[in-house]
Amino acid sequence: MSQTLTALAAALPLASGWSIHSLWMRRRIESARRDPLTGLLTRDAFADRAVRVLAGGRSAAYVIDLNRFKEINDVHGHAAGDAVIAATGQRLTYWANVNGAIVVRLGGDEFAAVARVLSLADLSWTLSELTDAIEQPVIVDGRSLTVGASIGAVAYDPVTDDVDLSTLLRLADEQMYAAKRSGADWLTALDLTSQSETVNGRREGRSGTTRGTGAAA
134 Cβ contact partners less than 8 Å away, ≥ 6 residues apart = 64, 66, 88, 91, 92, 147, 148, 149
pLDDT beyond 50 at 112: yes
Tens-digit pLDDT profile for residues 63-78: 999 998 899 988 899 8
Question: Averaged over 86-97, what is the pLDDT?
Answer: 94
Q: Considering only CA atoms, which of 18, 104, 8 is closest in space to residue 53?
A: 104
- Structure confidence at residue 22 (pLDDT): 40
Are the C-beta atoms of residues 177 and 207 closer than 8 Å to each other? no
pLDDT beyond 80 at 48: yes
In angstroms, the CA 188 to CA 172 distance is 7
Are the C-beta atoms of residues 40 and 102 closer than 8 Å to each other? no
- Structure confidence at residue 151 (pLDDT): 97
In angstroms, the CA 159 to CA 93 distance is 28
pTM of the model: 0.77
Backbone phi, psi, residue 186, to 5°: -155, 155
- Structure confidence at residue 150 (pLDDT): 96
Tens-digit pLDDT profile for residues 123-139: 999 999 999 989 889 99
Strand-strand pairing, 202-203 and 148-156: unpaired
Going by pLDDT thresholds of 50, 70 and 90, the confidence category of residue 29 is: very low
109 is catalytic: yes
* Catalytically annotated residue among 35, 65, 109, 173: 109
pLDDT beyond 70 at 122: yes
Going by pLDDT thresholds of 50, 70 and 90, the confidence category of residue 213 is: very low
